[in-house]
């Protein structure tokens, strides 16, 4: 029997998709990267269907590329040649939500913002909020250890993950972690799976930590600066002053122009950067301090939002930044993260690299974490970024490492950053990681060629 | 040449200790467990000396038991027969402390409280604070993923660890992690080493996250209850009300009596439990709410501390709890952690188990985390706990697991909890963990028989 027929036998009920156009719609994420041609796709609805798929894949040595909503920005879910695309997007149950223990047990296809909304009905929140959180899935967030706007205060996805249900390459089920706030029984397998980009197993459920939602609406500040560097200096001053913002986001002129071109926000010519900061609603003195520090660092205009509606509109604009850039062309998105004190230097370097190579770069940053997303925009007609973009991108990656930073703060390595991986991970790290990979995936069928 | 002579050749300068009495003083931690007889001890002062020790150990197949201050409570640093005891206690440099990036790079022998004090000179703090933090080392804290009083607010040691320098079993050096707040390049090796109890490598430096220290002294509440159950109910109410205490500690009557017998705190007969809670100094309304919730759950007397001195005295008493119990006899310390809603049930079960088996149990709890330390006290003349203690201990472990909890919240498995490990970690987890162990330690020389 041919392998696909065997899979259909194992998974009846229309779970296996074989129509070429349909399969191809599962083969890409948000990157420009050209996918390989998948053998077929599976849309799993249960853990047991995932297990059956992996048993079949092991038997037939078929590569497995797990996939959530396909909102990834590094090629982690890009199809490899001859693979099965394993979609978890239909596993959308919130199996449990316990306000008393402040945890939720969810399946990987749950949309991030849906979990957050479900938690808020109980005065709680799910903190990690990648910009794409209205369309991204928890499974994808776990695969990349996603961050977001709020993680300057609440940490990244790993910090909210207590335990996992994982189907291993051979179809066995592994349960990691716990339901408790603390626990040190055995090695931290939970943390190992988070951020492993589907290369060690397929997550079919997660026990996630919820947090108490602020009871008072936050105070939101938007400050306009004459240069990104000045905004970076304000960020450094805010951190140094001991403020603990709920979020602290930076957008450069290019980003603001992209948003203005779409949503007409009335951008004035002298504005070269904008900082959005949020203080807890019952900490007006912290909001006032952040406002003052923006002014002292050159902010020309500082607006303080009065109402939740104004705040929502402002944050909504920030969340549109990536979509606004996609309207301008194909995008190569970087995700460098530097020590917070190096943020102004990194911003300056990005501007200089763009000028040197005549590359169009728009930058947004989770500035409070030192995490920058320089987005290189190029002609959509090109099969891949032109040489000037590659050259500038290469220089930015190297500069981030030189400043004590890392290639990726929250998007993952995927396919996109493999060519720079050796600069950050030396030979001993690489050998150890490959050893771990072999423990979980001796046949090398799980998302091969990604992450490590 | 005999192996010890070869080691002395490789490590001149008195690093290798061979006097039997001296070696024996390195062979135990704080548990009653009888150690094996070490071959020798090494007191390393540099990473290269650690590497030389491990190269020698690999060559001669000598087990290596790493050791900090020996304050462990699970036998993690108990000597195994024929091992080299590798002390990191003299590696005490704080290599770097960066207020701008809120990180410190420290060697494993740094005393936990010393790092905290060094950070406070810059308005920062090192958050993890096991009760032993005035005598425990960072290396030991990393090995067990130590918690402490403040971790209800700031998380455990892993949550403050950004990167590690580790010497592998064969003497090679592995650098994991980063200096940045976020990063997802490759697998989370940092998290894997934290809590691995010296079974995967020897940590020779750590990049740790510091946090902004509260600028206003906290408000501390001490509430006396007629039963531990009532105190547990108050904890549940405080958590449910959305309070975010800086610490939330529970002591039962036995613990209070042990402290009273030592320090004469004027314990009154009707007091069966005490809760200590701390609110941020600029959140008096939260302190008032916690006070009210204690009263509503039966607290007979609630004191609110006015001064930092009073607070320090109260917290100091709590930190003495374990030492006070050690004055009463030999101790078997449990470290169960349950979902927070299960805290009252767990407290009740512990009392019942003690009564059933006529065992003397004193309990302290990091109640806000659901982490309880029932301490079984037995005659110091006995070589090991008597059958009644084992029976009660066994029932408590099983009850914690039945309640959705874990065997160990912050002390580690060590030798002490190995007999229950199989109840929590099923066969798939065990197989995977052993596979990971083999990647790092193919010869099985690193702290054999511990943790997994």
Identify which of B352, B104, B429 has the alpha carbon closest to the alpha carbon of residue A177: B429
Contacts of B164 (CB under 8 A, 6+ apart): B142, B174, B175, B176, B177, B189, B190, B193, B194, B203, B205, B206, B207
Residue A188: HSE in the Cβ half-sphere, 13 Å Cα cutoff: 30
Query: Do residues A243 and A288 make contact, with C-beta atoms less than 8 angstroms apart?
Result: no
Q: Which neighbouring-strand residues pair with B223?
A: B275, B302
Summarize the confidence of residues A430-445 as an average pLDDT.
97
Higher local confidence (pLDDT), B424 or A193: A193
**Measured between CA atoms, how close is A37 to chain B, in angstroms?**
26
Q: What is the ipTM of this complex?
A: 0.95
The pLDDT > 70 percentage for chain A reads: 100
Contacts of A136 (CB under 8 A, 6+ apart): A68, A69, A71, A111, A112, A130, A146
Contacts of B151 (CB under 8 A, 6+ apart): A182, B127, B128, B129, B159, B366, B369, B410
- pLDDT for A305 equals 85
Distance from CA of residue B260 to its chain's centroid? 24
Q: Kindly report the average pLDDT of chain A as a whole number.
A: 95
Identify which of B301, B336, B321, B340 has the alpha carbon closest to the alpha carbon of residue B416: B336
- Alpha-carbon distance B275 to B87, whole Å? 37
Architecture, CATH, for domain A329-444: 2-Layer Sandwich (3.30)
Taking each helix axis from N to C end, the angle separating A343-356 and A228-240, rounded to the nearest 10 degrees, works out to 170
Chain A residues with CB inside 8 Å of B104's CB? Answer: none
Strand order in the sheet with B247-252: B301-304, B219-225, B273-279, B247-252, B360-366, B371-378, B330-333
Q: Which of B145, B177, B180, B236 best probes binding to A when mutated, by most A CB atoms within 10 angstroms? A: B180
Architecture, CATH, for domain A216-326: 2-Layer Sandwich (3.30)
- Contact criterion met (CB < 8 Å) for B408 and A340: no
- pLDDT for A394 equals 95
Identify which of B134, B188, B124, B133 has the alpha carbon closest to the alpha carbon of residue B161: B188
Per the document, the length of chain B is: 452
Q: Is B188 on the interface with A (CB under 8 A)?
A: yes
Summarize the confidence of residues A134-139 as an average pLDDT.
97
Q: Is A226 on the interface with B (CB under 8 A)?
A: no
Chain B residues with CB inside 8 Å of A406's CB? Answer: 178, 180, 182-183, 185
Please name the residues between 375 and 434 in chain B that touch chain A, using a CB distance below 8 Å. 404-413, 417, 421, 424-426, 428-429, 432-433
Token duo for residue B436: 């990971």
Domain B94-212 fold is: 3.30.465
Taking each helix axis from N to C end, the angle separating B343-356 and B228-240, rounded to the nearest 10 degrees, works out to 170
Stated as kind and residue range, the H or E segment containing A17 is strand A16-17
- Alpha-carbon distance A133 to A104, whole Å? 17
- pLDDT for A71 equals 94
Contacts of B355 (CB under 8 A, 6+ apart): none
- pLDDT for A369 equals 93
Query: Do residues A199 and A441 make contact, with C-beta atoms less than 8 angstroms apart?
Result: yes
Stated as kind and residue range, the H or E segment containing A389 is helix A387-402
Of all residues in chain A, what percent are helix, strand and coil, respectively (each to 5)? Answer: 35, 20, 40
Residue A141: HSE in the Cβ half-sphere, 13 Å Cα cutoff: 35
- Contact criterion met (CB < 8 Å) for B428 and A187: no
The secondary structure of A367-386 as a DSSP string is: GGGTEEEEEEEE-TTSSS--
- pLDDT for B447 equals 98
Distance from CA of residue A401 to its chain's centroid? 20
Distances, alpha carbon B336 to alpha carbons A35, B85, B132, B354, in Å? 48, 28, 18, 15
Rounded to the nearest 10 degrees, how much is the dihedral formed by the CA atoms of B442, B444, B447, B448? 140
Architecture, CATH, for domain B3-87: 2-Layer Sandwich (3.30)
Residue with tokens 């149990």: B361
- Alpha-carbon distance B419 to B394, whole Å? 10
- Alpha-carbon distance A422 to A403, whole Å? 17
Give average pLDDT by consecutive 10-residue segment, chain B, 452 residues: 94 95 95 94 98 98 97 95 98 96 97 98 96 96 96 95 98 96 92 98 98 92 95 93 94 95 93 95 93 96 85 89 92 94 93 94 95 95 92 96 94 90 91 98 97 90
Stated as kind and residue range, the H or E segment containing A115 is helix A112-120
- pLDDT for B107 equals 98
Where do the structural domains in chain B lie, given as residue ranges?
3-87, 94-212, 217-327, 329-438
Residue with tokens 């990691």: A176
Identify which of B337, B124, B367, B334 has the alpha carbon closest to the alpha carbon of residue B243: B367
- pLDDT for B242 equals 87
Q: Which of A182, A212, A405 best probes binding to B when mutated, by most B CB atoms within 10 angstroms? A: A182
Question: Which residue intervals of B359-425 are DSSP H helices?
Answer: 387-402, 418-424
- pLDDT for A301 equals 86
Q: Are B217-327 and B329-438 equal in CATH topology? A: yes
Per the document, the length of chain A is: 452
Identify which of A371, A377, A338 has the alpha carbon closest to the alpha carbon of residue A354: A377
- Contact criterion met (CB < 8 Å) for A337 and B180: yes
Please name the residues between 190 and 209 in chain B that touch chain A, using a CB distance below 8 Å. 191-192, 194-196, 200
Number of A–B residue contacts, CB under 8 Å: 242
- Contact criterion met (CB < 8 Å) for B159 and A155: yes
- Alpha-carbon distance B95 to A183, whole Å? 30
pLDDT digits (tens, 9 = 90+) for A340-383: 889 999 999 999 999 999 999 999 999 999 999 999 999 999 98
Query: Do residues A89 and A69 make contact, with C-beta atoms less than 8 angstroms apart?
Result: yes
* Domain B217-327 classification at class level: alpha beta
What is the DSSP secondary structure assignment for residue A61, as one 8-state letter? Answer: T
- pLDDT for B308 equals 86
Chain A residues with CB inside 8 Å of B433's CB? Answer: 186-187, 189
- Was domain B329-438 assigned CATH 3.30.70.2740? yes
pLDDT digits (tens, 9 = 90+) for A179-188: 998 988 899 9
pLDDT digits (tens, 9 = 90+) for A249-271: 999 999 999 999 999 999 999 99
Question: Which residue intervals of A188-301 are DSSP H helices?
Answer: 189-193, 228-240, 253-263, 284-296
Reduced to 3 states (helix: H, G, I; strand: E, B; else coil), residue B105 is strand
Contacts of B69 (CB under 8 A, 6+ apart): B89, B111, B132, B135, B136, B137, B140
Is the predicted pLDDT of residue A231 greater than 80, yes or no?
yes
Query: Do residues A83 and A108 make contact, with C-beta atoms less than 8 angstroms apart?
Result: no
- Alpha-carbon distance A449 to A437, whole Å? 11
Angle of CA points B23, B29, B31, to nearest 5°: 130
Query: Do residues A373 and A396 make contact, with C-beta atoms less than 8 angstroms apart?
Result: no
- pLDDT for A408 equals 93
Q: Is B340 on the interface with A (CB under 8 A)?
A: yes
């Amino acid at each position: 029997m041919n392998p696909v027929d065997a899979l259909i036998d194992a998974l009846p009920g229309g779970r296996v998709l074989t129509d070429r156009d349909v399969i191809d719609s599962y083969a890409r994420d948000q990157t420009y990267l050209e996918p390989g041609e998948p053998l077929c796709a599976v849309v799993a609805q249960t853990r047991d269907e995932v297990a059956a798929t992996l048993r079949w894949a092991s038997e037939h040595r078929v590569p497995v590329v797990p996939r959530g909503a396909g909102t990834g920005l590094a090629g982690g879910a890009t199809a490899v040649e001859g693979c099965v695309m394993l979609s978890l997007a239909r596993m959308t149950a919130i199996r449990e939500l316990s306000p008393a223990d402040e945890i939720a047990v969810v399946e990987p296809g749950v949309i991030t913002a849906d979990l957050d909304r479900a938690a808020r009905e109980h005065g709680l929140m799910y903190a990690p909020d990648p910009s794409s959180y209205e369309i991204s899935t928890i499974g994808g967030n776990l695969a990349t250890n996603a961050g977001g706007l709020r993680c300057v205060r609440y940490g990244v996805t790993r910090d909210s993950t207590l335990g996992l249900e994982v189907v291993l390459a051979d179809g066995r089920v592994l349960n990691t972690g716990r339901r408790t706030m603390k626990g040190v029984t055995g090695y931290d397998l939970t943390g190992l799976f988070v951020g492993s980009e589907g290369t060690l197993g397929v997550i079919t459920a997660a026990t996630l930590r919820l947090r108490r939602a602020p009871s008072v609406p936050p105070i939101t500040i938007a400050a306009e600066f004459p240069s990104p560097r000045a905004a970076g200096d304000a960020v450094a001053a805010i951190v140094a002053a001991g403020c603990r913002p709920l979020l602290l986001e930076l957008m450069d002129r290019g980003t603001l122009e992209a948003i203005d071109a779409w949503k007409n926000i009335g951008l004035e010519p002298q504005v070269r950067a904008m900082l959005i900061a949020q203080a807890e609603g019952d900490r007006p003195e912290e909001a006032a301090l952040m406002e003052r520090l923006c002014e002292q660092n050159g902010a020309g205009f500082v607006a303080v939002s009065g109402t939740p509606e104004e705040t929502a509109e402002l944050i909504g604009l920030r969340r549109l930044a990536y979509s606004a850039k996609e309207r301008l062309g194909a995008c190569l998105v970087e995700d460098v993260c530097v020590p917070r004190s190096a943020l102004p230097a990194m911003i300056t370097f990005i501007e200089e690299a763009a000028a040197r190579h005549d590359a169009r770069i728009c930058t947004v940053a989770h500035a409070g974490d030192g995490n920058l997303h320089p987005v290189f925009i190029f002609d959509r007609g090109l099969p891949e970024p032109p040489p000037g973009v590659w050259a500038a991108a290469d220089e930015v990656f190297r500069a981030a490492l030189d400043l004590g930073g890392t290639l990726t703060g929250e998007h993952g390595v995927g396919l996109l950053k493999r060519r720079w991986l050796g600069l950050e991970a030396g030979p001993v790290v690489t050998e150890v990681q490959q050893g771990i990979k072999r423990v979980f995936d001796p046949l090398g069928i799980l998302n091969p060629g990604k992450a490590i």
